[in-house]
Amino acid sequence: MTVVPRISLTPPRTLLTRIGAWYSRRTYGKVLDPVQGYGHNTRVLFSYVRLEQRAAKWNALDAGLKHLAVMASAARINCSWCMDFGYWEGLEQGMTAEKIERVPRWREAREVFDELELLVMEYAEAMTEAEPTVTDELAATLVARLGEAAFVELTAVVALENWRSRVNSAFGLTSQGFSESCRVPGGRPGAPTTTA
């Protein structure tokens, strides 16, 4: 069954959408569906791109922990587009496929992650709940382990992923084939699958 996005992926051809399409093709090999969706409102697209550019420069939190937090948040929201892109992005960052594949079910795969990674994913999920369930104890443990600057960055990156995942889900966006392009033909069982 083909899932049709709730918003047209053919926005008006403005200078900004053309630049966004060019950059996406150059960087990712294809135009990202979220860029096409945001392209219907150039002010929102411009603001979102600027936010992403600035967020990419945050460096108080370890990149691997940041990626696990983003993936845990996306998995909690069940954003298949974000999980698909996150799989590709994780491999690009040098994360193992096994670790990336286990993020949606990290509680059942605790042996794959270290203690701090588990705490980060627990925090990301707790922040992502419709009514956040972050506890004083969890926050204090992470502040003690990460420091306040990295804790602030962790909180901000999870909030940013909530924005991404919720917008993509509301737009009706699904996998764009990023995880499939990472797989080795005839790869091992258990490779990630994305569902709408």
CATH number at residue 90: 1.20.1290.10
Question: Same domain, yes or no, for 36 and 114?
Answer: no
Distance of alpha carbon 28 from alpha carbon 164, whole angstroms: 17
Question: Same domain, yes or no, for 101 and 73?
Answer: yes
Query: What mean pLDDT, rounded, does the chain reach?
Result: 91
Question: Same domain, yes or no, for 137 and 70?
Answer: yes
Domain encompassing residue 29: 15-56
Question: Same domain, yes or no, for 39 and 129?
Answer: no
Q: What is the DSSP letter of 132?
A: -
Answer yes or no: are the C-beta atoms of 82 and 157 closer than 8 Å: no
Question: Same domain, yes or no, for 83 and 117?
Answer: yes
DSSP conformation letters of 38-76: HTTSHHHHHHHHHHHHHHTT--SS-HHHHHHHHHHHHHH
Check residue 26 and give its pLDDT.
96
Q: Is 73 a domain residue? A: yes
Which alpha helices (H) appear in 56-177, and where do they start and end? 63-77, 80-92, 97-102, 115-128, 136-146, 148-171
Q: Is 39 a domain residue? A: yes
Check residue 195 and give its pLDDT.
36
Check residue 1 and give its pLDDT.
58
Percentage above 90 pLDDT, the chain: 89
Check residue 196 and give its pLDDT.
32
Our count of domains for the chain comes to 2
The structure's pTM equals 0.88
Check residue 180 and give its pLDDT.
82
Question: Same domain, yes or no, for 111 and 140?
Answer: yes
Question: Same domain, yes or no, for 33 and 114?
Answer: no
Q: Is 3 a domain residue? A: no
Q: How many CB atoms lie within 10 A of CB 9?
A: 17
Q: Is 4 a domain residue? A: no
Question: Same domain, yes or no, for 67 and 102?
Answer: yes
Parts of the chain with a pLDDT under 70: 1-2, 182-196
Check residue 183 and give its pLDDT.
53
Question: Same domain, yes or no, for 50 and 78?
Answer: no
Distance of alpha carbon 6 from alpha carbon 169, whole angstroms: 9
| Interacting residues of 134 by C-beta distance below 8 A, sequence separation 6+ | 123, 126, 127
Check residue 129 and give its pLDDT.
95
Handedness of CA 7, 13, 17, 22 (dihedral sign): positive
Distance of alpha carbon 19 from alpha carbon 141, whole angstroms: 43
| Chain-centre distance for alpha carbon 193 | 15
The string of pLDDT tens digits covering residues 18-67 is 999 999 999 999 999 999 999 999 999 999 999 999 999 999 999 999 99
Question: Same domain, yes or no, for 109 and 133?
Answer: yes
Check residue 54 and give its pLDDT.
97
